[in-house]
Structures are given as structure tokens and as C-alpha cells.
Amino acid sequence: MTPSFSGLRAHTNADDGRVDPLEKHLARVAKLAGEFSAEFGAGDFGIILGLLHDIGKALPEFQEYLKRLEAGERLKSGPPHAIWGAVLWHILSGERAWREVCLPIAGHHAGLRAASDLSLAIAEFAQVRRETVDPLRSLLASSGLLRGVKLPVYHAEGTALEFRVRLLLSALGDADFLATEEHFNPSKTAARGKWPGLSELWSRFDEKRERLLQKRPISREGVQQVRAEVYAGCLKAAELPVGVFRLTAPTGTGKTLSSLAFALRHALLHPGLRRIVLAVPYTTITEQSANVYREVLGEDAVLEHHSSVREPPGDEGQSATAMQARLASENWDAPVIVTTTVQLFESLFARRPGKVRKLHNLARSVILLDEAQTLPLELLRPTLDVLRALVEECEATVVLCTATQPAFDDSPYLREFAGLPVREIVPVCARHFQVLERVRYERRPAPMSWDEVAEEVRGHRQALVILNTRRDALRLLDVLAGGEGLLHLSTLLCGAHRRKVLDEVELRLLEGRPVRAICTQVVEAGVDLDFPVVYRALGPLDRIVQAAGRCNREGRMPEHGLVVIFEPAEGRVPAGPYRAGCEQARVMLGRYDVKRLHDPALYHEYFQWLFASVDLDKEGIQGCREVLDFPAVAERYRFIDDTVPVLVSYEGLNEALVERWRWEPSREAWRGLQPFVVNLYNYESKKYAASGWIEELGPGLCRWLGRYDRLRGISAEVLDPADLIVSGGGDGKGNSDQGIW
């Protein structure tokens, strides 16, 4: 009897009884995966992946599994099916391009394996279970699914091949997610893709930009002039071919809007470009930048995606709950994405399909890396290597935005960027730093106790204090307790709380009321605060200058603002590159007058020293990538340790959404809950769960049952990793020696 797809299903029936025929599902996924892969020159690969990815579902034991699910049995995971497509391709192709095809197929549920492990598994399945392989081969032959499919030709090795495999998993994973969503939730499918085009977004931007600028208080002429020159430079540079750019400009020069103008014009002038991705180092800036983007582009144009629910375990379960949890992950199909560098780069080195799902949409995009100097030093070589691949393999444009450029292309220790042309968007940036000299620096000669710091801060009606650790911030808060206008900003506070505190700070500054803000580094890069006085604990040199960008930002003071650099006698500095940066800052501040901090050339010297003194691939990630060891890469490439999102009860939390997440997790529900989340380390969440302080709400999300303080936020004992996303802080992955910043 000739084998046939007749009667074979890909999934359980939909709620309305609709059947999802397996052959139709394979064809649909092949079409989508081919389209997605074509964006990075691998369309033939995508078609093959789609046609073979679920061929194992044709096995009788899998079809029986679907029947048992529909009969009401509670089954966590079904018979393995993903491996069979990989086995078949390995046999049919004679091992041709087996890594590009077999690795994504075998990993489209459980994640990418190491190539060596998969090779052994394929050999075992092919030899030991011939009774399964032969019927599947006959089914493929009789169906003609592969008839007319071109055999892909692609020659790459090492990290280029590793990156290509991950992109192919992204294309296959998203295609499979979307085809499955189309079956279970066609209304959601119908709602996709209704985004405004880039031409429409440019029209909105051009119309609303001036209106937005007029809302800002008038600053002195020099600031306005520099902002105009930066904006004009961005429009002119947008005409250049795709590639790598630098946008070097002092803080307060409107980089957020100017870089967006560059991205929109660049995309319109190069029709292959499809979307804009802004990645920033802190969720605080993410929220602020997303709000600015929405104001000029509209609510319907911007996807804000940062703190991420952990993906459910990588089983092959087909139950409604398992499917819904997987469908909740994002694929970044919006025209404008605002995210964090953690979300972006950990996805670029991930191995699980939900995490990498979005990556194919980075092809032919404009990627704006805000505060590029904050990329962790000990992950820098693999980070720059994947950026280079995005430019060279995916025809993306990357823009490195910061006031303190690390000059990645000018270091013998970063061969990943060697020879890559990097173009300066604003060539006259050095003059801009001179024009916008808005602060004077003072350095306290001796370490200061918290009492001494508090006494000085009380002497100023409005002052911002930025400290190296959250523990230090809490100690200073204790000393200043009861003072008028005392506020606190760190990621001990959920996003909605931080936004409210920032609004209160801005209002007090505008009205001239007392405000003394005690903060961590979360406010020193990209946050639009304008204090007359800033105290910055001695830290890496670029951190000090970024902190100064919160002082006299608009240049409205008749005299220069004051930035005080001090060393807390009782404070501690995290180990690793952050401490190395502190030590080098101490050396350079001893060698040069503090006025040199206004010279951008100083940071070139500073970063070159850091690149020479720090292992820029401490975890040996590049070696793991060379041999296609995907689990090792995903495990080692971490900005921060594994975390658990914990929901806190802060004003505005929608309890209906909480209940919705309990029973039907979705990306819409997550977007509503995201502003009320604080991230905890896994081991911390286990400790608090054992104490009864947190409960699990659903896949990857817990709820905080302990105290949430209106000044300090979540318990001061909690180790919140989001503060650790700084310039090479701690052990290079963002972990401090004390576990809290």
C-alpha cells in the first residue's frame, strides 16, 4: 500500500473542530520559512526546513498521542518527532549541508544541540530504528513534497556557519509558531502585519518632531545649534550605503530623535531595509525612548520589548497550555522595536526557538545601539563578531551611539572588527564637545563617609547622587532619611514605579522644589534629567562622563553645573572589568587635570587601555562557536545570570491581566504586566519561594508576596540583576562581587 498523508494531523483540532492536516502544515511552514530565510540569502534552506521539520508527526505513535490528548488525557510531552526530519535529510542528502538543515530541524522544539552530539544521535536513530526510517522515506517519496526543491549551496565554517544555523532556526521557529497560531487562533493571525509603513512613519516623524522639540524648555543658543548640526549630519549620512556607523555626540544633543531620523531616512533610501531596532542598556531608558518614539511615530508603530518571560521547557508538548505559552513569545515583526541590549544580544547567542524566533527579522534592519560603551568587555569579541555578521551576512546597518566612543575598530585586541569600515555620522563631533562644555568637575581629594556625603548633599536644594552599588544607595538613603524631596531610583523598583519617580524628579526640577535623588547607574545613560549638581562615586571614566550628562543638560544655567567626583570610604566597587575601569579612571584623573574630561580623545586612550587589560572573550565563547557547541555558547554568553520575572503589587496593576496570565498566557497580557516586574536571580527566587514570599503565576512568571516599599521598592536583600547591565561590570557578565549594585 502506498504511504499517504491522508488523515494525518499536525496538531489537535482547534476549539471549533477544525483539523490541521500535516501535509498542509508542512507546506505552510515551508512557504513562510523560505520567505524569512530569503532575507539573509538562504531561502532554499528555509523551504527544506519547513517541509521536513514535522515529518516525524506522521508516525503512528504521534498520531495516537494527539488522539489521547483530545480524549482528555493530561500528557506533558509526546513522542519525539523533531529528530526524524534531521535523520531523513542526513540520509537523503549524503551529509550535504547537514549542519544547516539537521541542527535547526532537530532543535525546533528543544533547542539547538552541539553538532557533535546531534551527529551521534542521527547515526544511532538511522541505524537502530530502520523500521521507522524506511516508512518515512517512502512517505516523502510518494508525496512529492521535495520534488523540485533545490539543493542549497552555501560554504561557510566557524562562527559564520554557527550564526547562519541560528538564523535558520529563527526562520523555521517563527514560521512554525505562525502556522500553529493560524490553526489555533486565526483571529490573532488576522491581526498581524497591520503596521504602518516606513514612508508613513517618516511623514509622522517629520510632522511631529518640531512640535516635540517646542515642548522642551528653551536652552542656550549653543545647545540648539549643536542639536541642529547633529540632526543635519544624520540626514546626510543616511544617504551612505548600509554598514557600520558611529554617532558620537555630547549628552543632551538630541541623539534619540536624530538617530531615529537617520534610521528612517536610511531605510527609505535603501528599500531593502525593513525595520528599526533601538537597543539600550537599561529598561529605564527603554521606557523613556519608547515613549519618545510613540510620541513622534504613533502608538501603533512601536513595539517595546525588554524584560522577558522565560521560555517554557523545550519539550514537544502539544497541549493548549504549552502551545499558548510558546505563542506568547515575540517575533519582532513591528516596524520599530525598542528593546534592551540584554534582550538583543542574549537572543543572538541563544539556542531555544522562542528566544531566537525574532532573529531573522534583524536581517535588513537598522540597529541603533545606544550607549555602545556599556557592552560587557569580557563578551566583547563574540558580540562584535555577531554584529559584523549582521552587517555582512544580513545586510543590516549598525549605528554605535554614545558620547564616549570605545573605537572598536581601532584596537589590535578586537580582530572581529578589524578592517570593517566604520563611518562617523557627525565628523565635527570634537568641536561639539567644546561648545557644550556645560559643567565643571571637582574631585574630592580624600574618601568621604556616608555622613559627609549626606551633609554635602543636604547643602544643595537639588542634587543627584549616583553610586556604584544598590547597597551603597540604600545606605545613603538611610543616612538622609526624612529629608524633603528624597527620592530613590534603581531597579529595586518596577518599571511603573521608576516612571513615576522620574516624573516626580522632573516636576520638582522644573518647579524649583527640593529634590535629592539617590540612584544607581540606571539613570546615568540616556535618562533626560537636568540637575544643577551631580555627585558621582568614583567609577569607570565613561560612567563619570555619562553621569555629567545629567548636570546642566539643557545648558540653561548662567554658570556651569557642578559634577563632584568622590570616593565613598564605606563603599565597594564590583570586581572584574568595572573595577579595572575604576582603577584606570583613578590613574588618569591623577595624571590629567579634570578639565580633560571634556576631551573625547581621552576616552579613546581609556578604552584602548581597557581592551588591552581585560580578556575580551573570557568565557571562550568564540571557540565554542567554531565547533558549533550551541548549548555551551548559550550558557556562557550571559550579560547577567538567569533571572525570574517577579510581579509586584504596585498602583495601576491590572488584576484581571494577572488572572488572564494564570490561565491563558499571551504576549498581549505580558505587555500589560511588564511595567510591574522586578527581575530576581533564579537562586534568589527559590529562596523566597521556600519562605512563602513568591508564588508562581504561570509559565516563567512569579508574584511577590513580600513587602514593597514606596521608597526602596522590593526587599533590599533581593539581588536584582538588572542593575548589573553596565560597562563590563562585575565578572564581565554583570555580576558584582557582592551580588548587588
Residues 51 and 136 in one domain: yes
Burial class (CB in 10 A: 0-12, 13-18, 19+), 28: buried
Residues 185 and 206 in one domain: no
Whether 17 is covered by a domain: the verdict is: no
Q: 330, 373, 224, 276: which is closest to 666 by C-alpha?
A: 330
Whether the Cβ atoms of residue 370 and residue 401 lie closer than 8 Å to each other: yes
User: What pLDDT is attached to residue 651?
Assistant: 92
Rounded Cα distance, 585 and 245, in Å: 27
Whether 82 is covered by a domain: the verdict is: yes
Q: Considering 158, 191, 224, which residue would you say is the last residue of a domain?
A: 191
Whether 343 is covered by a domain: the verdict is: yes
Residues 242 and 119 in one domain: no
Residues 389 and 509 in one domain: no
Residues 375 and 246 in one domain: yes
Residues 208 and 280 in one domain: yes
Residues 416 and 465 in one domain: no
Q: Considering 430, 459, 474, which residue would you say is the last residue of a domain?
A: 430
User: What pLDDT is attached to residue 128?
Assistant: 66
Residues 441 and 374 in one domain: no
Whether 739 is covered by a domain: the verdict is: no
User: What pLDDT is attached to residue 292?
Assistant: 86
Rounded Cα distance, 209 and 228, in Å: 12
One-letter amino acid identity for 524? Answer: E
Q: Which domain holds residue 351?
A: 198-307+334-430
Rounded Cα distance, 736 and 725, in Å: 11
User: What pLDDT is attached to residue 215?
Assistant: 63
Whether 594 is covered by a domain: the verdict is: no
Whether the Cβ atoms of residue 699 and residue 309 lie closer than 8 Å to each other: yes
Whether 250 is covered by a domain: the verdict is: yes
Residues 36 and 158 in one domain: yes
Whether 101 is covered by a domain: the verdict is: yes
One-letter amino acid identity for 535? Answer: Y
Whether the Cβ atoms of residue 701 and residue 645 lie closer than 8 Å to each other: yes
Residues 173 and 235 in one domain: no
Q: How many domains does the chain have?
A: 4
Neighbouring residues of 292: CB distance < 8 A, sequence distance ≥ 6? 212, 256, 257
Q: 365, 370, 433, 377: which is closest to 408 by C-alpha?
A: 377
CATH of the domain at 78: 1.10.3210.30
The DSSP call for residue 596 is G
**Pairing of the two strands 244-248 and 462-466:** unpaired
Residues 174 and 206 in one domain: no
CATH of the domain at 241: 3.40.50.300
Residues 256 and 368 in one domain: yes
The pLDDT tens digits of the residues spanning 143-161 come to 888 888 877 776 788 999 9
One-letter amino acid identity for 332? Answer: W
User: pTM, whole model, 2 decimals?
Assistant: 0.85
Listed as ranges, residues in the chain with pLDDT below 70 are 1-2, 128, 154, 213-221, 284, 306-329, 525-526, 641, 715-741
User: What pLDDT is attached to residue 331?
Assistant: 86
Rounded Cα distance, 77 and 370, in Å: 42
Q: Considering 396, 430, 464, which residue would you say is the last residue of a domain?
A: 430
User: What pLDDT is attached to residue 170?
Assistant: 97
User: What pLDDT is attached to residue 192?
Assistant: 76
If you write DSSP's letter for every residue of 457-468 in order, what string do you get? HHTSSEEEEE-S
User: What pLDDT is attached to residue 217?
Assistant: 54
Q: Where are the alpha helices (DSSP H) in 393-494?
A: 429-435, 450-458, 470-480
Whether 409 is covered by a domain: the verdict is: yes
Q: How many alpha carbons fall within 13 Å on the CB side of residue 236?
A: 12
User: What pLDDT is attached to residue 267?
Assistant: 97
Rounded Cα distance, 362 and 357, in Å: 10
Q: Each residue of 122-158: b (16+ CB within 10 Å) or e?
A: beebbeeeeebbeebbebbeebebbeeeeebeeeeee
User: What pLDDT is attached to residue 317?
Assistant: 52
Q: Each residue of 510-541: b (16+ CB within 10 Å) or e?
A: eeeeebbbbbbbbbbbbbbbbbbbbbbbbbbb
Strand ranges, E, within 659-730: 677-681, 694-698, 701-704, 708-709, 713-714
